[in-house]
A = this chain, B = another copy of it.
Amino acid sequence: MTPHPLRRTALVLTLAPFTAFAQTAPDRPNIVVFLVDDLGWQETSVPFHTEVTALNRRYRTPNLEALAAEGVKFTQAYASAVCSPSRVSLLTGMNAARHRVTNWTLRKDASPDTPLKGVTPPAWNVNGLRALAPGETLPPETDAPAPGRFAVATPLPELLRAAGYRTIHCGKAHFGALGTPGEDPRALGFEVNIAGHAAGGPGSYLGEKNYSAAWRTSPPDHVWDVPGLDAYKGTTVNLTEALTLEAVKAMDAAVAAKQPFFLHLAHYAVHVPWEDDARFIQKYRDAGLKGTPAALASMIEGMDKSLGDVRAALRRLGVEKNTVILFLSDNGSPSQCPANLPLRGHKCFPYEGGTRVPMIAYRPGVTPAGTVCRTPVLIEDVFPTVLALAGADGKPAQPVDGVSFVAKLAAPAAADPAAAARPLVWHSPNHYGYTPFSAIRIGDRKLIHHHVSRKLELYDLAHDLEEQHDLAARHPELTRQLAAALTRTLRDRHAQMPLDAQTGAPLPFADAIAR
């Protein structure tokens, strides 16, 4: 049997009367969600495919390799195809079809959707996430637009905080639009906010540029300025390093206060702009990479160093055996990046290259070292998983679509009949980088519904991970079944469809097309 990893911490906690929760739940682990932005399934040196690919050989992520060697590698982990939907799902447990933050948010009441002939986007929740106010109750879900165009929920950090956790956000937030409550992570249950705000990307990763984009627009646009981090502005410290140093300070303070912590370390990296990380660029140039591909590789290694530094700090603080680490990305790599081979497509796309993300979980003393979990998981599953790990028993106001994968941390390869029958759903009625779509996966079968062309595609991921062979015409009955399941799930969640610009009527769901 593994020795109890919490003995030292638990002892200390019983001596700390100011944390009332400590005495009732002495074994609560610290939890680090290490969320990377726009990191593709192939963009690390850890192979998530059955074989090592060219990209795995290109990138250097030794700390991620070490984490995988100690933890569980999830080879079929999924997020939404774009960032805000994933982030709201993580914080609420709701699928994007339900929370309706189906594209990225920034400006109040404004959508970044690209015009599309003949089609109008639905009234999606352009203002992002807002925490349910004290005493407020959620209205019943309907097909009507949400009041104020907000997703309203009990956010994950609020439940953790109520359970005695110190809740720390560090890095990219991107939960709510400018001028709305959700632009500040502290309005969503985080006690500490380091450098998070409404914008979904940094102006720059360079301290020399003050992490600002003012150098590239005239008049200067300060909306992308990373807030805070004043001590690093004007220095040569890369943003990823600055966030790591501040996250370590926040962990240090929580440990000193004898409080378990939830650290949401959500790096801006490796989102655009792609700028050389001076610490690592030379080796990629020496390897023959140039320009953006070299810059991206250096940023990926900078992100990996952050993971290593966080783990070193956990060791230094003596809490490494009592800290769960969950590493994942928020969507696939953007279309300017190298192809996600063997996967098809990129960020914003309904194909695996858009939605399948690298994910590794490490629970000391629990995860069997160097194992693989092939059960599909979705980013909204993080919500119930983290609550389960924390032993937090507060109930969120919203319905939770996510399913806890906490059992997978102990038994990654155990048979799971429920998972095999579970419908995994993606929903993007928006036009941004790709035309509006929904998709469903049950078992190894995946159906994609293109809303505007009214086309259905059917793939068998077990034999065609590359999504090259559309089987819809050959398997009409299976197509109909998946279309019906997709439609049922979306209707249950009051999903919004794009509107016909002429009539204002929603475009049909998949079942009407498969018929």
Give residues in A with beta carbon < 8 Å to B. 38, 201, 206, 208-210, 214-220, 234, 271-275, 290-292, 294-295, 334-336, 347-348, 432-433
Contacts and interface: CB of A to CB of B under 8 A. Distances in A.
B335 A219 contact: yes
Contacts of A432: 219
Question: Which 8 A-B residue pairings sit nearest by Cβ, starting from the closest?
Answer: A216-B273, A219-B433, A208-B291, A218-B334, A215-B274, A215-B292, A218-B272, A220-B336
Contacts of A38: 218
A150 B206 CA distance: 41
A295 B290 CA distance: 21
Nearest to A292: B215
Contacts of A220: 334-336
A255 B291 CA distance: 36
A430 B201 CA distance: 29
Contact of A290 (B208, B272, B292, B347): B208
Contacts of A292: 208-209, 214-215
Nearest to A217: B272
Contacts of A291: 206, 208-210, 215, 234
Contact of A234 (B216, B290, B334): B290
Copy number of this protein in the oligomer?
2
A216 B290 contact: no
Q: Could you say which of A210, A272, A335 has the most chain B C-beta atoms within 10 Å of its C-beta?
A: A272
A215 B295 contact: yes
A353 to B, nearest CB: 14
B214 A336 contact: yes
Contacts of A215: 272-275, 291-292, 295, 336
19 contacts: A201-B218, A206-B291, A208-B290, A208-B291, A209-B292, A210-B291, A214-B292, A215-B273, A215-B274, A215-B275, A215-B291, A215-B295, A218-B271, A218-B334, A218-B336, A218-B433, A219-B335, A219-B348, A220-B335
A234 B275 CA distance: 15
Q: Could you say which of A214, A216, A217, A334 has the most chain B C-beta atoms within 10 Å of its C-beta?
A: A216
Nearest to A203: B216
Contacts of A336: 214-215, 218, 220
A219 B274 CA distance: 13
A222 to B, nearest CB: 10
A217 B335 CA distance: 11
Contacts of A209: 291-292
Contacts of A234: 290-291
A149 B388 CA distance: 62
A274 B334 contact: no
Contacts of A219: 334-335, 347-348, 432-433
A271 to B, nearest CB: 7
Q: Could you say which of A271, A334, A348 has the most chain B C-beta atoms within 10 Å of its C-beta?
A: A334
A432 B220 CA distance: 11
Given A218-B271, A220-B334, 5 more contacts: A210-B291, A214-B336, A215-B274, A218-B335, A219-B432
